Structure 1
Amino acid sequence: MNRRTVLRTATALGAAGIATGIPAHTAAAAHATGATSASKPDRRSPLRVQVVLFQGVEELDLAAPYEVLAASDHFTDRDVDVRYVALDGPRTITAAFGTRLRADHRWAPEKADLLVVPGGGYARREDPGVWAEIRRGALPRALAAAQRPGLTLAALCTGVMLLSAAGVTRGRPCTTHHRAQSDLVEQGGVLKKARVVDDGDLVTAGGVTSGLDLALWLVRRELGVDAALGLESMLEYEARGTVWTS
Structure 2
Amino acid sequence: MNVQIVLFDGFDLLDAIAPYEVFTAAAMYSNEEVTVKLVSAEGQRKVTSGVNQLQVQASGELDLSSKGIILVPGASGSVHDNGPESIPVKLQQVTETELSNLLNEAIKKPDILLSTVCGGSLILAMGGLLEDRHAITHHMGIGLLQATNAIPVHARVVDDGDLITGGGVTSGLDVALYLVERELGPRIAHAVEQLFEYERRGTVWKAEGNAPKESKHENPMEATSSRSSNQTDKSFNFQGKWDTTISTPIGHLSVLLDLSSEDGRIAGIAKQGGDIVTLNNIVQVGNQLKWSMKVKKPIRLSLKFIVSVDGNSMYGEAKAGMLPSSKLIGHRIS
Query: 1:125 Cα deviation (Å)?
Result: 5.0
Opposite residue 115 of structure 1, the aligned amino acid is I
Aligned partners of 1:109 and 1:115 also within 8 Å: no
- 2:71 is aligned, of 107, 116, 121, to 116
In proportion to residue count, which structure has more helix?
Answer: 1
In proportion to residue count, which structure has more strand?
Answer: 2
- 2:168 is aligned, of 204, 207, 218, to 207
Task: Kindly indicate whether residue 2 of structure 2 is the aligned counterpart of residue 48 of structure 1.
Answer: yes
**Greater relative CO (CA pairs within 8 A, separation 6+):** 1
The aligned counterpart of 1:239 is 200
Equivalents in 2 of 1:220, 1:125: separation in Å? 40
Change beyond 3 A, Cα 1:222–1:126: same
Classify the secondary structure of the residue corresponding to 1:142.
helix
Equivalents in 1 of 2:97, 2:40: separation in Å? 14
Change beyond 3 A, Cα 1:126–1:220: same
Classify the secondary structure of the residue corresponding to 1:129.
helix
Task: Write the mapping of 1:87-236 to structure 2, written as runs, cut at 5 A.
Answer: 87-97=41-51, 98-121=53-76, 123=79, 126-127=84-85, 129-134=90-95, 136-147=96-107, 148-236=109-197
TM-score normalised by the chain length of structure 2: 0.57
Query: What's the CA shift string for 1:5-40, capped at 9, x where partnerless?
Result: xxxxxxxxxxxxxxxxxxxxxxxxxxxxxxxxxxxx
The aligned counterpart of 2:35 is 81
Query: What's the CA shift string for 1:105-133, capped at 9, x where partnerless?
Result: 11212213100000013636513832321
Equivalents in 1 of 2:177, 2:160: separation in Å? 16
The number of aligned residues is: 199
Equivalents in 1 of 2:111, 2:62: separation in Å? 17
TM-score normalised by the chain length of structure 1: 0.77
The aligned counterpart of 1:21 is none
Percent identical pairs in the alignment equals 37
Aligned partners of 1:125 and 1:132 also within 8 Å: no
Equivalents in 2 of 1:141, 1:189: separation in Å? 19
The aligned counterpart of 1:66 is 20
Query: 1:137 Cα deviation (Å)?
Result: 4.1
Give RMSD over aligned pairs: 1.5
Aligned partners of 2:49 and 2:76 also within 8 Å: no
The aligned counterpart of 1:26 is none
Query: 1:165 Cα deviation (Å)?
Result: 2.2
Equivalents in 2 of 1:192, 1:125: separation in Å? 29
Query: What's the CA shift string for 1:182-218, capped at 9, x where partnerless?
Result: 1111101111110000011100000000000000000
Equivalents in 2 of 1:65, 1:110: separation in Å? 22
